[in-house]
Structure 1
């Protein structure tokens, strides 16, 4: 594959997309994913980047076409405990929202968008959506809002009050992009924009995220970032293989140890039974044989 002309999203998210003039890229991704026009109003100060290229995330206040306000968190992690990390980050986001004394009180919905560049869980899809629902344990009935709650909260379902999660498993995409969302997945995976792409935000990618717009210093840092990604993936693969090998070795060792213990136990039992037979031939009663061998009366009687 020819080298891409565009900057990868994971790098752009760390260095470029926090600039307001580049918000169109993030807005395009969110518009495509959520199925409604999204406009970023503010990028929150607690957005983080990691110097070792392990993760970055951005918290932002956005509005839709109805001028409803949402809090969206985009995560780009590369680590084992991803599900747990997602729970922690969204909980922290909610804590900041609840305790804030600013206009964040107006936020009515939280989305967690997770862009995953490694194998996560077991599944064949490339985009997963999760939300909170409550169902009766006896009849499976979905718990719904009362008319008063619908009017008060301005939503129709309980799940709309809770955070929603999107997981984009971009590394698993290996087909021709046919939809706007697949065009975005293709870019997130390869760092290139598919020919004829029409998804919102990808025109901004082609305009603002060109490699030839970067200075030599920026390019050097960018290529170090790509090298770090390769090294990190190799380390994770090596650790997994070493873990499997260690587990197999431990399993074999434990199996041998257990076998030796079981063998000794079985040998002692055979010896006890043989002694009991001999004592029984000598005419000792059952109680005396039990005391001498440790066998039960039923075991002695069956000899």
Structure 2
């Protein structure tokens, strides 16, 4: 059986316009539950400049805060446009969240672990996978063991790994996904990229998306705005691809020119070095011939020039 012919709204648009409604939270909660394999609930939409609904705000990020079953904080960010200092900014966002969730004078032991999830629709850098995960672990430089910290918990001193406290980062590179979706996570990433949902899906969040995110359920004005959004994304990607292609072409041309110039320079330098070496060798031979003509012994000429006795005899 093929995919349902109904058309669904792409996630990057839906999360900005439709999933901000509490009635639709189940869609995003499904993605987080699949990613963490843990029941996750959205706490709030973080009101930032990235959540504005202005027409000029086609590419800005969207921030959402959620919590898992342990009460740990999960930050979700959807980003459409390239940002040079992207990693620095998500680090800042995590640090800001940690400080906001501990009151002045409160024990550091109350700090909650934070997970940062970035769903990016642009070329973040080099890498072959569509999902990357990073966390803080302290490994012995010489022993390769992982550091354990003693920490007080419920009136007892217990060992704890720093990775249980320090933030973790997930980056989903949507455009890099090119597989046939077989797992729940792959079905989700396929939807993030294409807007396609399997007709018989049982994946958390996607079944809700099939009911709530149908393209033809939107009002005509909203549908027009959505089509303009997709068109703008396509134009942006075309501009970036063209710039990259032009950069590669220019880089190759410049590289060839620099390579030729460098080759000439290296040739000249090598020629000078060889010429100097040959000149010195010829000078030593000439000196040895003169000394031999003056009647000096082979041993004395060898000591004076550094030539072997065999070479001096051949002169």
Identify whether the pair has TM-score above 0.5, normalized to the shorter chain.
Answer: yes
Corresponding residue of 2:311: none
Contact kept? 1:193, 1:206, Cα under 8 Å: yes
* 1:200 Cα deviation after fit: 1.3
Larger Rg, first or second structure (1 or 2) = 2
Mapped partners of 1:154, 1:214: distance in 2: 54
Give CA deviations for 1:27-73 in whole Å, capped at 9, x if unaligned: 1111111111111122222361483533413131x33335x241423
Query: Are 2:165 and 1:161 aligned?
Result: yes
1:170 paired with 2:174, answer yes
For 2:91, the equivalent position in structure 1 comes to: 90
Look up the SS of the partner of 1:128 in the other structure.
strand
| Residue 248 (structure 2) pairs with residue 235 (structure 1) | no
Can you give the 5+ residue segments of structure 1 that lack an aligned partner in the other structure? Answer: 286-299
* Residue in 2 that maps onto 1:126: 130
Counterpart-to-counterpart distance in 2, 1:99 and 1:219 = 38
TM-score by length of structure 1 reads 0.78
**Which shifted more, 274-283 or 20-29?**
274-283
d(CA) in 2 for partners of 1:195, 1:73: 27
- Counterpart Cα distance in 2 of 1:281 and 1:232: 73
Contact in 2 for aligned 1:150/1:156 (Cα 8 Å) = no
Structure 2 residue 187 is the aligned partner of structure 1 residue 183: yes
Partner-residue secondary structure (3-state), 1:95: helix
Residue 56 of structure 1 is matched in structure 2 by: 61
* Structure-2-length-normalised TM-score: 0.75
What is the aligned partner in structure 1 of residue 263 from structure 2? Answer: 259
Give the 3 Å change call, closer, same or farther, for CA 221–135 of structure 1 in structure 2: same
> 1:69·1:107 contact (CA, 8 Å) conserved in 2?
no
SS at match of 2:61: strand
* Native 8 Å contact 2:31 2:205 kept in 1: yes
Aligned residues: 285
Q: Over aligned residues, Cα RMSD in angstroms?
A: 3.6
Give the 3 Å change call, closer, same or farther, for CA 24–279 of structure 1 in structure 2: closer
| 2:139 alignment partner in structure 1 | 135
- Aligned residue among 111, 121, 124 for 2:115: 111
Unaligned runs of 5+ residues in structure 2 are 291-304, 308-315
Rounded Cα–Cα distance in structure 2 between residues aligned with 1:158 and 1:150: 18
Q: How many angstroms apart in 2 are the aligned matches of 1:250 and 1:5? A: 46
User: What is the CA deviation profile of residues 195-244 of structure 1, one whole-angstrom value per residue up to 9, with x for unaligned ones?
Assistant: 21111111221122111221221111111111111111111111111111
Match of 1:20 among 9, 13, 22: 22
Q: What's the offset of the Cα at 1:2?
A: 8.9
